[in-house]
Amino acid sequence: MNKSVVSKVVLILAGGLASACGLLGLGGGKGGGNDQGELVGVPGREGWVMTIPYGMVPIPAGTFHMGQADEDPASTQINFNKQVTIGSFFMDDTEITNNEYRQFTNFFLVDNGTIEGFETVDAETFRQKYYPDTTVWVRDFAHHMGDPIQDYYYWHPGYDDYPVVGVNWDAAVFFGQWRTAYLNDYRKSVGDFEMPAFRLPSEAEWEYAARGDRPMAKYPWGNPYIRNSKGCMLANFKPGRGNFYDDGFAYTSPVMAYFPNDYGLYDMAGNVSEWCLDDFNPASVPTVWDLNPQYIDPRTNPESNRYNPKVPPKKVVRGGSWKDVAYYLETGTRTYEFKDSTRAYIGFRCAMTHLGRSSGQEF
């Protein structure tokens, strides 16, 4: 076979191969790929499913009248009614317990754990900033024999299922960041997509969830009374002057000790008050937007041109606690605490944003 014949055969074979590649979509623009030159999106991103995180319950999107659900005996005038819409999200069914928080503290102080890409905190810094302040049981109440509960509340297994207290707002936020990294580190190791971040609920999300799809409910259980038809208390709080025990517990109670609301959330009234994401401002309700509202005080936001380091940041606290009267258990009652404060009656629970439109089946 002469060279001219060989050249013709090679050209024919090359042309056929090029045609085949074109038919199979193996050609394209400068970027290559098998998209046949069409805009088809980036492959390999299929399979995402928004699952319900362990220990959480789904809260469907909806519209409700945020604000006071009864009289305002203190004449605070800080929570007038306003119709707002809340997107779907997930929320812990209980307050974070001592034993759940201990998993977090042990990760840094006992296991010396690390997560790729997550902030590393040395033991001394962690103890100062994020370890529960057990002295709150003595410090918060004058002339009170708080030593026994100070000594045992956080570390003894008898209190494992009780809500963690003595944690400030920053510690609650950092817990959510660690919980996010801890979960997603595992998910990446098994080839799953990352989940959204755990965070504190906004004040509007908290109130919406507390009402349990009962738009004007005074209390999370839906009626205006603090006892059921058998005379039993429906939450852990202070029923009267000098009376802490009619509800069955002198201090905090184990989580799930009382009935949940219609969303399946426990202790949205009483037991311990709960940190929220928002800054506190008595005039924030008419200020915020009416879709997923969150108030951010520009005076305490370092990124704002109105930032003033002399203004002490206040954070919203909701739900009332074991030492509060019934007024603070109402779904519409607002109060606050300074973000760097630790108290024997403030804990928290986490929320997570639901990504995409829900099918509705999980609700």
Indicate if the pLDDT at residue 267 is higher than 80.
yes
Q: Please tell me what DSSP assigns to residue 194.
A: P
Averaged pLDDT for residues 237-242: 93
- Spatial separation of the C-alpha atoms in residues 12 and 7, rounded to whole Å: 9
Q: Regarding beta strands 314-318 and 89-92, do their DSSP bridges make them parallel or antiparallel, or are they unpaired?
A: unpaired
Q: How confident is the model at residue 253 (pLDDT cuts 50, 70, 90)?
A: very high
DSSP SS3 for 164? coil
Alpha-carbon distance of 272 to 163, in angstroms, equals 7
pLDDT digits (tens, 9 = 90+) for 96-126: 999 999 999 999 999 988 998 898 899 999 9
CA distances (Å), origin 312, targets 136, 278, 353: 20, 14, 29
pLDDT of 33 reads: 67
Question: In CATH, which of 3.40.50.450, 3.30.70.580, 3.90.1580.10, 3.90.79.10 is domain 56-97+165-353?
Answer: 3.90.1580.10
Average pLDDT estimate for 16-26: 45
Q: How confident is the model at residue 361 (pLDDT cuts 50, 70, 90)?
A: low
pLDDT-based confidence at residue 74 (cuts at 50, 70, 90):
confident
Phi, psi (rounded to 5 degrees) for 237? -155, -165
55, pLDDT greater than 80: yes
3-class SS string, 7-29 = HHHHHHHHHHHHHHHHHCCCCCC
The CA distance from 135 to 302, in Å, is 31
Fill in the amino acid letter for 355.
L
Is pLDDT larger for residue 18 or for residue 207? 207
Q: Are 322 and 152 in contact (CB under 8 A)?
A: no
How many residues belong to the chain? 363
pTM: 0.88
Asked if residue 18 has pLDDT above 80, the reply is no
Q: Can you tell me the mean pLDDT for 118-145?
A: 94
Structure confidence by residue, pLDDT tens digits, 284-332? 988 999 999 999 998 888 888 898 888 889 999 999 999 999 999 999 9
* Token duo for residue 183: 């979960």
